[in-house]
């Protein structure tokens, strides 16, 4: 297992429901050199065809962890290193000061992150601006936007 200090970026999916989104995010993680965390329960099986199909042949190159709860990610990454993404965020993702080793946390497609989690650290809750007619972005798109902004700030390898 890679030491936490060796990971430049963590992408965390809390209770993801759609295999194709997780697969596409896994592919993005390979492209940017991020570790992907999948927090159970998952709405799919890890051997599901659509997960591997969305990730194409990149899944074998993916650094990922599957854990039973968000507290396992907190222990590994640190609560103060996690940035939560939510339509409820008051700060835009471009206003955050990302640092190497930070984690980008995304909730389930149908319900987002738990309110209690977001209320605990509103200063660490970010939003991606969008037109009022849009309820939210696709999870894979949001994760890609956030990951590339983080890398823009901390530098690409």
Mean per-residue pLDDT over the chain, rounded: 92
pLDDT tens for 69-128 read 999 999 999 999 999 999 999 999 999 999 999 999 999 999 999 999 999 999 999 999
Fold (topology level) of 4-154: Alpha/beta knot (3.40.1280)
**Which residues lie below 8 Å from residue 136, measured CB to CB, with a gap of 6+?**
87, 112, 130, 142
Tokens of 25: 């995010």
Q: Could you tell me the residue ranges of all domains in the chain?
A: 4-154
pLDDT tens for 39-51 read 999 998 887 666 6
Report phi then psi at 49, rounded to 5: -55, -40
pTM: 0.93
């Amino acid at each position: 297992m890679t030491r936490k200090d060796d990971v430049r970026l963590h992408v965390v999916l809390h209770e993801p429901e759609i295999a194709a989104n997780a697969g596409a995010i896994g592919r993005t993680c390979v492209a940017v050199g991020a570790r992907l965390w999948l927090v159970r329960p998952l709405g799919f099986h890890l051997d599901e065809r659509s997960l591997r199909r969305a990730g194409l042949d990149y899944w074998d190159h993916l650094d990922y962890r599957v854990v039973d709860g968000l507290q396992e990610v907190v222990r590994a990454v640190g609560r103060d290193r996690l940035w939560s993404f939510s339509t409820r965020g008051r700060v835009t993702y471009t206003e955050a000061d990302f640092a190497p080793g930070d984690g980008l946390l995304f909730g389930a497609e149908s319900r987002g992150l738990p309110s209690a989690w977001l209320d605990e650290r509103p200063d660490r809750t970010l939003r991606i601006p969008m037109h009022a007619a849009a309820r939210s972005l696709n999870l894979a798109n949001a994760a890609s936007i956030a990951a590339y902004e983080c890398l823009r700030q901390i530098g690409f390898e």
